[in-house]
Structures are given as C-alpha cells and as structure tokens.
A = this chain, B = another copy of it.
Amino acid sequence: MLAFCGQDKCSIDSSGRIKLSQRTMADFAEQPEGHVVLRCLPEGALAVYPENIYLRMRQGEPDPAEKAASSLLFRRTLRQFGALSQPDEISAQGRITLPLAYREHAGIKAGTEVVVVGVEIGLEIWSSERWAEELKRVNEHMLEKGEREMAADLVNRPNN
C-alpha cells in the first residue's frame, strides 16, 4: 500500500552505513533475508531496488558471451550494469552498507547527511546538495512543460 514514497533525512555513520526508517524497512520486509540490489545512477545518486525489480530491468540478452566477444559497445553495456550494480543486504537492525566506490559515485562522504527518497519501485539515496539540485531541475522542467502546454493551447485549439 503506497510503498516506497516520501523523503527521509538520515546520516551515514563512519563505516558508510545508513539506518532506514521504519516505513522503508516495512516496504522491503518481503525481501528474503533482506536481499536488495544497489545501483549507481548516472545522475549521481544510488538506487536500492528489490531483487525482482532489478531482474526485470535487466532481463535478457539472448547470447551475451558471443556479443561480448565481438562488440566493444556491448562490453560497455555489460560493464555499465555489472560494475554499477551489486547485491546488498539490509541487516536485522535495518541498516544498509554502501560500498566506498558507490558512495564516491554519489558524492556521499562518511558522517554527512543524506536524503532517502521513495521512487515507487524502490529507493534512491542522494547527498543533500545533489538532491536539492535535482528537485529544482525537476520542477523547472515541469514548469517549462506547462508553459509550452499553454502556448500550444493558444495555437492549436483557439475555439475551445
């Protein structure tokens, strides 16, 4: 029921772990043994997905080995998913450890504040600064789109 939504602020401890809120833990509770998949997003944040969600994202190339042998582009694709995704688990106490390489990708330093954002199919973890920028960007995009909608309404359907 309305899983994975809202925002939570929380802090990263010195070994790179965050404690999830009760609500968030409940959303992941169905996962066997707390297994989830962590993924680096190009926009500079980390995503946490339930395993089945990730598998659906990654559903398959028919013959990856043969393609990898001949195509550099395809090897990059494998690299992009392989290197930037890895299994992780949520501990019994609701903590999740973010590997160093992934923290660096997301611009998250140990001891700082992060924002945990629900994205309906899973979570995203943002550094506070980047999250503020992202929110701003999304908002501006929507406004711009609205402007264009208004303009189009004038042009296309003047008698409506």
* A contacts, CB < 8 Å to B: 1-2, 4-7, 9, 37, 41-43, 49, 51, 53-54, 56-60, 63-66, 68-69, 72, 75-76, 78-83, 85-87, 99-101, 117-121, 124, 134-135, 138-139, 141-146, 148-150, 152-154, 158-159
Return chain B residues, CB-CB under 8 Å to A2: 37, 51, 54, 85-87
Q: How far is the CA of A72 from the CA of B72 in the complex (A)?
A: 21
Chain A facing B: main interface SS = helix
* Neighbour of A42 across the interface among B41, B54, B142, CB < 8 A: B142
Query: Chain B: which residue is nearest A80 at the CB level?
Result: B138
Number of this chain's copies in the complex: 2
Whether A57 contacts B53 by the Cβ 8 Å rule is no
Q: How far is the CA of A53 from the CA of B65 in the complex (A)?
A: 6
> Known interface pairs A86-B118, A124-B79, A139-B42. Does A57 touch B51 (Cβ–Cβ under 8 Å)?
no
Shortest C-beta distance, A63 to chain B (Å), equals: 7
Return chain B residues, CB-CB under 8 Å to A144: 154
